[in-house]
């Protein structure tokens, strides 16, 4: 029996329950759970940090073969399905990766692997950069 109806309800609930969260570009549902993509924007770190706050989780920055990704992942228990994941994700621009290194001392690379950052720490650094007139 397919869990698709329950996962679709979860996807709708995630978007509906967070009306103040940043805009969503797309939502997909499959056997892994719910994946929510926020559109690529100049400042992708801020929306992913705000989604991480909404989901009460961290931001994970991950290097891939030809891009860097940022995700906020929350494990949830769904009746009829069991434990599944809600993943909000986006691609990052090189300037954002450089800002992480410069302002947080975080190096994300093929050899160093993924890095987790609290959304509050990320937003604090982003806000400080704007106050100083720096751009990511």
State pLDDT tens for residues 90-105.
998 888 888 888 888 8
Whether the CB-CB separation of 126 and 46 falls below 8 Å is answered with yes
Strands in 1-136 per DSSP E: 26-30, 33-37, 59-63, 68-78, 82-92, 115-117
Listed range (37-41, 112-116, 130-134) with the worst mean pLDDT:
130-134
Report the share of the chain in percent with pLDDT over 70. 90
| Domain limits, the chain | 4-131
Whether the CB-CB separation of 110 and 97 falls below 8 Å is answered with no
3-class DSSP assignment, residue 58: coil
State the pTM of this model.
0.86
Return the HEC string of 70-91.
EEEEEEEEECCCEEEEEEEEEE
pLDDT at 56 over 80: yes
3-class DSSP assignment, residue 11: helix
């Amino acid at each position: 029996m397919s869990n698709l109806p329950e996962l679709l309800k979860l996807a709708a609930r995630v978007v509906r329950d967070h009306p103040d969260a940043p805009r969503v570009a797309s939502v997909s549902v499959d056997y892994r759970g719910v994946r929510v993509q926020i559109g690529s924007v100049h400042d992708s770190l801020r929306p992913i940090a705000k989604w991480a706050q909404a989901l009460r989780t961290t931001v994970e920055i991950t290097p891939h073969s030809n891009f860097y990704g940022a995700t906020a992942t929350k494990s949830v228990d769904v009746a009829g399905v069991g434990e599944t994941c809600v993943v909000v994700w986006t691609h990052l621009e090189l300037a954002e990766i450089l800002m992480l290194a410069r302002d947080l001392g975080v190096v994300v690379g093929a050899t160093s692997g993924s890095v987790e950052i609290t959304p509050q720490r990320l937003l604090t650094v982003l806000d400080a950069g704007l106050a100083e007139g720096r751009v990511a």
